[in-house]
Amino acid sequence: MLLEDRIRYRPLHDKITDAQTAAGCILDGTNLFISGFTAGYPKLIPQELVRRAKNGERFKVNLFAGASTGGSVDGILAEADLVGWRRPYMSDRIMRKKINANGINFKDDHLSRLASQVRSGDLGSPDVAIVEAVGITEKGHLIPTMSVGNTPTYVREAQKIIIEISAESPELEGIHDIFIPEDSPWRMPIPIYRTADRVGKPFIEMDPNRVVAIILSREQDSCPVFNPPDDVSTRIAAHILDFIRHEIKRDRMPRNLPWQSGVGDVANAVLSGFIEDDFFANLDIYSEVLQDSVLDLIDLGKVRAASGSAMTLSHKARKRFFNELYRYKEKTVLRPVEISNSPEVIRRLGVIAVNTAIEIDIYGHVNSTHVMGSQMMNGIGGSGDFLRNGAISFIVSPSVAKGGKISAIVPMVSHVDHSEHSVDVVVTEHGLVDTRPLTPRQVAEQIIKKCAHPDYRDMLWDYYQRAVRTTGGHEPHMLDEVFSFHQRFMATGDMHPRQK
């Protein structure tokens, strides 16, 4: 397909140019609002900015995306020291390092909130939007690629728009559902009543007069590699499915509430758990990022509808998806993240939310972001949107990390992203605790017995028992040794005591 055929709005053909010219409007201090949510990010302009930096130009941009954009944006821009500010989420190794060294300003937001903040002007003047698209419609509107994220708002607000037409993407038109809610006090209900509902347009409305450049791209999203579910994640998935099946059978939960599952191997494994399970059928998935497991379930005829803000597929799955797009399109819908993660919609639909943690404490508080309390990992992403508003919220983690040297269950988490009030059920490969009918003390006793790794149970029990005896209270804690596990790890590289 020719570039011209992708741009069905003729007047914009004049804007076709090269990356160097296109990026000319990006200067020191420019606020850059880019498409991208694990997928669908622009590729050529970031490369061009790096080229300029290598040629000695000194400048920094403030970078706002939907969520993470991987090595090809966050990674190379961070490495070239081109990023002043970054919001709301990232997962790149190099960028993470610079954020923790205070070399990049980073703020970690609930993903559902950013778009309205941009519209209200809170994030500064919306200078330039860079958007990856599969094409432009006859009326000059934009068809995005494999993610929506905050792109509709960025395109609406930006003074200048640069478009990277992704020549390798197939005809994704029709998969997106673009709806920008009005802002308060004029907001009306978001009219999604069922997972499959389409309430917007299949394109992003755009004022063609603000398009300053269009370039042709043959770059593709870098693909994640999903590890096949290992024993630990298979057991975690089994605990969750058993529990929900039990709740449904006891008539404490309706059948067919939609599912959300976070990003990564464990989250992928949870959905893979449905593959060999005959109880669950006609699944609705109302999630944030759709991964390989969703395609597998569609192939098995197990999915009624899958909704997200992005699709992140392994190389193999992407090929399959592109080849049989007509079939997958019927089942999938990609929305702005303020809709996929909308508290209103999540609570209305009654989403079963499954999210992963770095560590969980004995009372059910969750650290999703900071290793040892200070070092940023990736960000909370949408975990808070789903955990807080889901009909039932699971927080899951393997019981240990670093070959057993770190216990995921600790006396007190070293950083709290989600308090006990947002968490219903705690799950590790060893077991599951439904905290809803329990007092904090009962929660602690159950989590230590059922979720902690056997290596750490005695230490946790000893801590808890002494806290009950000495401090007492509703959530007994001894503040002088509440982080003893962490301190030991930082001193010795192992949460186990030297002498076991």
- Flag whether 263 is marked binding: yes
DSSP 279: S
- Flag whether 493 is marked binding: no
What is the amino acid identity at position 56?
G
Interface with its own copies (CB under 8 A), residue from 20, 21, 209, 439: 439
Q: What φ, ψ does residue 145 adopt, rounded to 5°? A: -95, -120
How many positions of this chain bind its own copies (CB under 8 A)? 81
- Flag whether 264 is marked binding: yes
Report 338-377 residues binding its own copies (CB under 8 A): 343-344, 347-350, 365, 370, 372-376
Which one from 48, 79, 288, 475 is the annotated catalytic residue? Answer: 288
Report 406-435 residues binding its own copies (CB under 8 A): 414-419, 421
Nearer to its own copies, 101 or 225 (CB): 101
Task: Read off the tokens for 353.
Answer: 């939310």
- Each residue 259-298 as x (binds its own copies by CB under 8 A) or -, in order, gives ----------------------------------------
Exposed e or buried b for every residue in 355-384, given b needs 16+ CB within 10 A?
bbbbbbbbbbbbbbbbbbeeebbbbbbbbb
Nearer to its own copies, 105 or 222 (CB): 105
- Each residue 79-118 as x (binds its own copies by CB under 8 A) or -, in order, gives --------------------xxxx--xxxxxx------x-
- Flag whether 201 is marked binding: no
Report 176-205 residues binding its own copies (CB under 8 A): 183-185, 187-191, 193-194
Nearer to its own copies, 47 or 256 (CB): 256
Could you give the CA distance from residue 112 to residue 15 in angstroms, rounded to a whole number?
Answer: 33
Residue 473 binding its own copies, by CB under 8 A: yes
Could you give the CA distance from residue 119 to residue 402 in angstroms, rounded to a whole number?
Answer: 42
Residue 380 binding its own copies, by CB under 8 A: yes
Are residues 396 and 270 in contact, defined by beta-carbon separation less than 8 angstroms? yes
Q: Specify the residue for token string 């610079």.
A: 98
- Flag whether 262 is marked binding: yes
Could you give the CA distance from residue 401 to residue 405 in angstroms, rounded to a whole number?
Answer: 6
Instruction: Judge whether 288 counts as a catalytic residue.
Output: yes
What is the amino acid identity at position 433?
V
Report 41-80 residues binding its own copies (CB under 8 A): none
In 3D space, the residue among 98, 93, 44, 45 whose CA is nearest the CA of residue 70 turns out to be 93
Residues designated catalytic: 288
